[in-house]
Amino acid sequence: MRLSTCAAAITTATLFASCLATPTPNPADPIARTISDRIGRKKQQKGEKEKKPSTKYFHEPGGGNKLGHYDKRYYHGIVSDEERQDTQSHMIRAYLNFFHEQELDTWIAHGTLLGWWWNGQRLPWDYDLDTQVSDTTLHHLGEAHNQTRYAYNSSDGTVQREYLIDVNPWIWERERGDGQNIIDARWIDIRNGLFIDITGLSEIHPDTHPGVWSCKNYHMYKTSELYPMRETMFEGVAAKVPYDYDKVLVDEYKVRALIETDFHGHRWDTEQRAWVKKPETVEEEEQERKKKEEEEKKKVAEEARVNKSTRES
Ligand SMILES: *[C@@H]1O[C@H](CO)[C@@H](O)[C@H](O)[C@H]1NC(C)=O
Ligand SMILES: *[C@@H]1O[C@H](CO)[C@@H](O)[C@H](O)[C@H]1NC(C)=O
Ligand SMILES: *[C@@H]1O[C@H](CO)[C@@H](O)[C@H](O)[C@H]1NC(C)=O
């Protein structure tokens, strides 16, 4: 869950708007323009549609909550809720273990941090997981660990998996640019394409705004909100969270996110210290499942009818 452009971020962003750089060739540049005009004209002559080449590095099979959280290369279809939850719990443990083993700094962020705040676990309805790193760590990841495959064995020895670290070549560009590459790296479960989004924070303007850290999507943090990091546990393994996590969460999600106990079809159960699906959500999902099953049956029956009539004619 990432409420990406909160109002505060937009306000602060305008502060920097004047110094924004674009990674793509500047279209206002006369030489670039002539060349692209010429290419455009040639294409039009050939009857092709003029299309700007995309700079996007990571690709998903589609947009939205359902498809937007899979890496296209490893996607074989939407997984069940159970598989997603199992994937995510092991994936974040493996990730935290790797960073710990390599003595690299990372911390949990966004909706994942909100999940930690409630009970040290991910939010059961969350489609993705988010972590952050400093730009120094990010650059080290790019140079030393890009395309590394990490073999994971769960602490009880029952689950073995492999994860791929893929680092976006646009990590050297720390401004938002065309907005296609705000995710700096991914930790991918190669069985199904689900991933952890890793974003780096940089002090974009140490001269005019020292101690202000920003990701490429303009989430801003002060040094004192981040450091010193607090050592904690997440999904049963050692993890770190920003020093002033309350402020970080309220800035991003408002106070309501720390109070509301009825959220996303789930209810906070004080005794279990867990988010549980509400009976009406379970009922709705059951209805949905039945409806799909019926539709599938109808489709098969219709096909059989068509087959039969083709055979008979
Ligand atoms: C995983 O760990 C268990 C015990 O913790 C061990 O017996 C097993 O050999 C390990 N598997 C792999 C593939 O490393
Ligand atoms: C990571 O590796 C991929 C595949 O080789 C490459 O395309 C990409 O540019 C690399 N990223 C960095 C930061 O070098
Ligand atoms: C209808 O015919 C197609 C093609 O021969 C076949 O693949 C399909 O299984 C048949 N459907 C049914 C319900 O018999």
DSSP 8-class letter at 48: P
Give the ligand whose atoms come closest to the C-alpha of residue 298: 3
Distance 286 CA to ligand 3 centre (A): 29
Cα–Cα distance, 257 to 241 (Å, whole number): 17
pLDDT tens per residue across span 45-102: 554 455 678 899 999 999 888 899 999 999 999 999 999 999 999 999 999 999 999 9
Q: Is the same domain home to 292 and 195? A: no
Q: Where are the alpha helices (DSSP H) in 157-244?
A: 223-226
pLDDT at 194: 97
Domain span at residue 180?
52-277
Instruction: Report the percent of the chain where pLDDT is more than 90.
Output: 71
17 assigned to some structural domain: no
| CA-wise closest residue to 138 among 92, 199, 226, 97 | 199
Task: Assign 204 a pLDDT band (cuts: 50, 70, 90).
Answer: confident
Does the CB atom of residue 287 touch ligand 1 within 6 A? no
Average pLDDT over residues 278-285: 94
Cα–Cα distance, 232 to 77 (Å, whole number): 34
Distance 53 CA to ligand 2 centre (A): 19
Q: Is the same domain home to 309 and 172? A: no
194 assigned to some structural domain: yes
Cα–Cα distance, 308 to 297 (Å, whole number): 16
Nearest CA to ligand 2 atom 6: 169
pLDDT at 71: 96
CA angle 38/40/41 to nearest 5° reads 65
Q: Which long-range contacts (CB under 8 A, 24 or more apart) does 242-249 make?
A: 242/107, 242/113, 245/113, 245/116, 245/117, 248/113, 248/221, 249/113, 249/114, 249/117
Burial class (CB in 10 A: 0-12, 13-18, 19+), 156: exposed
Residue 162, SS3 per DSSP: strand
pLDDT at 249: 97
Average pLDDT over residues 252-272: 96
pLDDT tens per residue across span 117-156: 999 999 999 998 999 999 999 999 999 999 999 999 999 9
Average pLDDT over residues 249-277: 96
14 assigned to some structural domain: no
Tell me the pLDDT of the chain averaged across its residues.
Answer: 86
pLDDT at 33: 46
Cα–Cα distance, 116 to 131 (Å, whole number): 12
Q: Is the same domain home to 169 and 312? A: no
Overall number of domains in the chain: 2
pLDDT at 177: 84
Going by DSSP bridges, is the β-strand pair 160-167/149-153 parallel, antiparallel, or unpaired?
A: antiparallel
Q: Is the same domain home to 189 and 285? A: no
Specify whether the CB–CB gap between 218 and 174 falls below 8 A. no
Distance 40 CA to ligand 2 centre (A): 29
Task: Assign 182 a pLDDT band (cuts: 50, 70, 90).
Answer: confident
257 assigned to some structural domain: yes
Average pLDDT over residues 297-313: 90
Nearest CA to ligand 1 atom 2: 157
pLDDT at 178: 84
Does the CB atom of residue 148 touch ligand 2 within 6 A? no
pLDDT at 174: 80
Specify whether the CB–CB gap between 210 and 204 falls below 8 A. no
Give the ligand whose atoms come closest to the C-alpha of residue 308: 3
Q: Which of 153, 154, 159, 160 to mutate to test the pocket of ligand 1 (most atoms within 8 A of CB)?
A: 153
Cα–Cα distance, 34 to 31 (Å, whole number): 5
> Model's pTM, two decimal places?
0.79
20 assigned to some structural domain: no
130 assigned to some structural domain: yes
Estimate the share of the chain in helix, then strand, then coil, as percent rounded to the nearest 5.
40, 20, 40
22 pLDDT exceeds 80? no
Does the CB atom of residue 153 touch ligand 1 within 6 A? yes
Average pLDDT over residues 248-262: 96
Which residue is listed with tokens 């106990």?
A: 261
pLDDT at 69: 94
Q: Is the same domain home to 80 and 115? A: yes
134 assigned to some structural domain: yes
pLDDT at 16: 38
Going by DSSP bridges, is the β-strand pair 195-201/129-134 parallel, antiparallel, or unpaired?
A: parallel
pLDDT at 304: 92
